[in-house]
Amino acid sequence: MLEPGKIQYCRCGSIIDNGKCTRLKCPFRPAKYRMWVINNRYLEFDKPVTLEEAIKFSKTKGLHS
C-alpha cells in the first residue's frame, strides 16, 4: 500500500505518474500538436510542439508580428 504523502496529484485531481498527469485531456497540461495555425498561416512540425513553442518558432522566422 502506498503512503498518502507519496502520491502526487495534478491540479485537475488526477494522479501524476513519472512527472506527467495521467488524465488524457488534462486542462492544465499544455497540448502538443504537429500542426498549428498561427496568424492565418498553417505550420507543420516534425514533432509535436506546444502553442508557445509554435509561436516562438513563427516569430524567429518572421511569420508572426
For residue 24, give its domain range: 1-28
Same domain (yes/no): 39, 64: yes
> How confident is residue 4, by pLDDT bands cut at 50, 70 and 90?
low
pLDDT tens-digit readout, 41-56: 889 999 999 888 888 8
- Please state the domain count of the chain: 2
Verify that 41 and 56 share a domain, yes or no: yes
Residue 35 and residue 22 share a domain: no
24 plus 41 within the same structural domain: no
Same domain, 36 and 24: no
Residues 6+ positions from 54 with CB-CB distance below 8 Å? 36, 38, 43, 45
pLDDT in tens, 12-44: 889 988 888 888 778 787 788 899 888 888 899
